[in-house]
Structures are given as C-alpha cells and as structure tokens.
Amino acid sequence: MSIVSGLVQPADPKPPAISLARYLLCIAPDSAEWSWQSGDAMDQSPGHWFALRKASHTTYMLAGESGRFSLTPPEGIDPATLPVVDESGPSPTGLRDFLDTLAQTIADAEPGSADRIKAIARAARNGDSLGILRSELNAIVAGFAMHPPNVPDVAFASELEVQTRQRFINLEIPGTLASAIYLLTRIARLAAPANMIHQAFGLGGSLDIFDGPQVFLRDVLAKIFKIEGGETKIAEAAAALQDDAESFADLAENAPDFGQFYGGIFESLPLAYAAQQGFEYLANAGAGKPGNYKMLANVCEERVAPAFATMEIDFRNSMDWRAIAAHRAAIAAARQSGGDSAAEQLADQYTHLSLLYPPFTRDFLLEKTDTLPLKAEVKQLPAESRRIDDD
C-alpha cells in the first residue's frame, strides 16, 4: 500500500469517499494520483509551466489554482527550459488505497451499502486499466461499425450518450472514456441523417484501441476528417459540448448547496475535455484557421484545469476543511497587504472565476461570518482553523 501525505481519517467516511472517487474519475485516476503527488513541486511555483514526462509522451501544466493543462507545448515557451515532473514510472496508488480503506469502513458500518461503495472503489482503481478500456472502446467500434448502412448512427449514438452520462455520474467510468464517447456521439447526432461515424470506421488507416481513449479518439477523428463535411461536424460537436460544459458551470454557480455545486463541476469536466480534444485535433491537423481552433482549445483548457483543481479541493475539504481554511487565510493576507478591494478580488477569483467554492461561501471566505453555510444548516470549522491568527 502506498503512503501518501496529506490524508487523514475523517469522522464520517462517506463524504470523502464520494469526493475522492469523483476526483479520481473526473479525468483519470493516474492523472489525479500524479497531480496529488506532484502538487508540492508545483505549489512552489504558481503561474509557471511544468513539463509532465510520461512513459510515452509529455504533457504540460500551468501551476496554480487557475492553471491550465495542455497536450502540446505552451505557445512562446521553449519546452526544453521547463522544469520536469517525471511521471514516466508506475503510477502511484496512494489515493486509491485510501479510497479502499474508506470503502471498507463504510461497508463494515453499513453492509447494505457494501456492494455499491466497493464497486465505486474498483472503478476508481481500474479507471486507467488498458485491458478494461480496450473492451469499452471495442464495444464502441462494434456499435457504430457493425450495424447495416440503413440503420442510422443517431439511434445508437443517442442511447450511448445517455448511458455514458449515467455511468459517469454513477462513478463507473473515467472522464477520459466519457469524453471520447461524448465527442463521437455528438458528431453522429449533428451529422444525421448521414452516418458519418459508420462511414469513418469503414475507412482504412490506423485505429488504436490499445492505448487509451485519447489515442483512440484521435484516430477516429482523423477518419472523420477525411469525410466531406467532417471538419465542420467535429467543430460543431466540440462547440456544442463546450456550451454544455458552460451550462453545467452556470448551474453549479447557482447551486443551493455544496453537493449540487461540486456535482455540477464534476459533470462538466468530460464535456469540456471532449471539446478541448476536438478543437486540439483540428488545430494540430491544420484545419481551417488553426490559430482559431487553438484559441478555442485554450478556452476549453481554462475550464478543464480549474475544474480538476476544484475536485481536488472538494476532497481536501471533505476530510477536514483544510483548503477553505487556507483560502480564507489567503484572503485575509490579501486584505492586509492590498486592502478590502484586494480581498474582494481574491474572493471573486475563488467563487466566480475559478469556481473553487459556491458563491454562498463568500461571506465566510471574507471573514464576515465565522460559520460556513451548508444548505439550511451551518457547520463550524474547528476552532483552531477558523481564524488566521490561530495558525
């Protein structure tokens, strides 16, 4: 079992178990594990880009609560100059180990919940299993490619999209798989009555189902791109998914409680990531005006990276409210150095721009009250963490 710093046994294991499962599955468990482990290095350099070296490729992260994630090197920066976080070895499993302990505690206390909570823990542990993902991707190929030409893609796509959404919010599949399915099903729906996805699978060329949903999606998009009107449908689908992600973010911002707020952010993530992948494919393919597609991909990144950070913050707070106490202290420090306007701006950053917290926490963050509202009830922070002068 891996040992991970920053984990504490909570009084009630249910909220952190669900929050942790969401964090692990919102994109992919390996990404969450590496992000948690590399957080210390990035915390030392907010606002700076890092190269994340993986076994087969390198991605890039802008450190900070409003940071960005990119599959390609950031514009105007020489990748060779970036500090490197090495993620090329076996993925850590400390968060998944911790989820297993929480699940067992819940199962012991509530045997009726044992099967459900253990299934969630298994899904989180196996979310990056290429064997399991390969089976899922093969089923997608079969569903789109094997039906007769006179059977519309849209019938299969509509049902698949509904099933995928339900499986994702039920914590059964990772966001990487959900996002690949969302982009393909949305293309199929927008291309109707043409069977564009069915046609695409009938074309020659590579189709990698062995290296995960992102590589699979890239190969399928390359096939769709060859079809007349394919570029347009990829762009339209990405734009529609981006709109859906923004709608969930708007719903979250107006949520009446923590559960609906973080649930909305969670549901928005694979939608925004799907849109990002669509626009990035078009930019890298040199389609249309690549600069425009790259800009649209960056806009989606600006939603994905902070939302990913939000899910981590939800988990941290579910254990002991440490993150909101730290952000409250940061706002107090901003007031000391820059006055009330600086404090107000930082509170806006946390509650409106980065969507780390629902807006109803604003007065608490600004120390206008010492009670943290949760729905109709209030929850007091531990006395030692309520005031910054207690630190």
Q: How does DSSP assign 2-23, residue by residue? A: ---TT----SSSHHHHHHHHHH
Name the amino acid, one letter, at 11.
Answer: A
Provide the CB-side half-sphere exposure for 298 (13 A, CA).
10
The pLDDT of residue 4 is 66
The pLDDT of residue 376 is 32
Is the alpha carbon torsion for 284, 285, 286, 289 positive or negative?
A: negative
pLDDT in tens, 116-155: 999 999 999 999 999 999 999 999 999 998 877 777 899 8
Sorted by where each begins, the domain ranges of the chain are 129-316, 322-390
High-pLDDT (> 70) share of the chain, %: 92
* Contact call for residues 240 and 247 (beta carbons, < 8 A): no
Q: For residues 238 and 185, what is the distance between their CA atoms, to the nearest angstrom? A: 11
pLDDT in tens, 13-51: 999 999 999 999 999 999 899 888 877 667 777 778 888
Q: Residue 335 has which token pair?
A: 């007031």
Q: What is each CA distance from 161 to 141, 164, 182, 186, 286, in whole angstroms?
A: 14, 5, 6, 8, 29
Backbone angles phi, psi at 146, to 5 degrees: -90, -10
> What pTM, to 2 d.p., does this model score?
0.88
CB neighbour burial string for 94-127, b if at least 16 within 10 angstroms, e if fewer: bbbbbbbebbebbbeeeeeeeeebeebbebbbeb
Answer whether the bond into residue 193 is a cis peptide, omega within 30°: yes
What SS3 class is residue 238? Answer: helix
* Contact call for residues 38 and 85 (beta carbons, < 8 A): yes
